[in-house]
Amino acid sequence: MQMNKRIKNILRCYAAGMGIKETASTFHTSRNTVRKYVRLFLSSRKSIDQLLSLSEEQLHEMFGGTESRVGSLLPKGLNWRLCFPDMYPA
């Protein structure tokens, strides 16, 4: 899946010390998208090596379909589950 490869590459650059703005520019994506992936990566408490070894399904579970899990009534980009994980169990 192309998206999972892109996520891995974005996080690989972040782990190597590239900034959010530079990473977003390199991959022609928004800074908010890069921030979202970095936030999800950091909250997973996995090392970059562990993340890179995840299967396609595990990556999709971790990064894919974020909006559908949040719900359609929330403003675009707002993920209450990240802010209040105890209130919104998976």
Query: Looking at the predicted structure, is the pLDDT value of residue 63 above 90?
Result: no
How many structural domains does the chain have?
1
In contact, 81 and 68? CB cutoff 8 Å: no
16 by DSSP, 3-state: which? coil
- Mean pLDDT for the chain? 79
Q: Which tokens hold the place of 65?
A: 């379909």
The two three-digit tokens of residue 63, written as one number: 């990064």
The domain containing residue 47 runs over which residues?
A: 2-83
More confident residue, 85 or 16: 16
pLDDT in tens, 15-58: 999 999 999 999 999 999 999 999 999 998 999 999 889 888 88
Is residue 46 within 8 A of residue 59, CB to CB? The reply is: no
pLDDT for the residue 11: 92
Whether residue 71 is contained in a domain is answered as yes
Report if residue 89 sits inside a domain: no
The more confidently predicted of residues 1 and 55 is: 55
Query: pTM of whole model > 0.75?
Result: no
Q: Which two tokens stand for residue 4?
A: 């999972």
Question: Are the C-beta atoms of 48 and 28 separated by less than 8 Å?
Answer: no
- For residue 11, being part of any structural domain is answered with yes
What pLDDT is stored for residue 39 in this prediction? Answer: 92
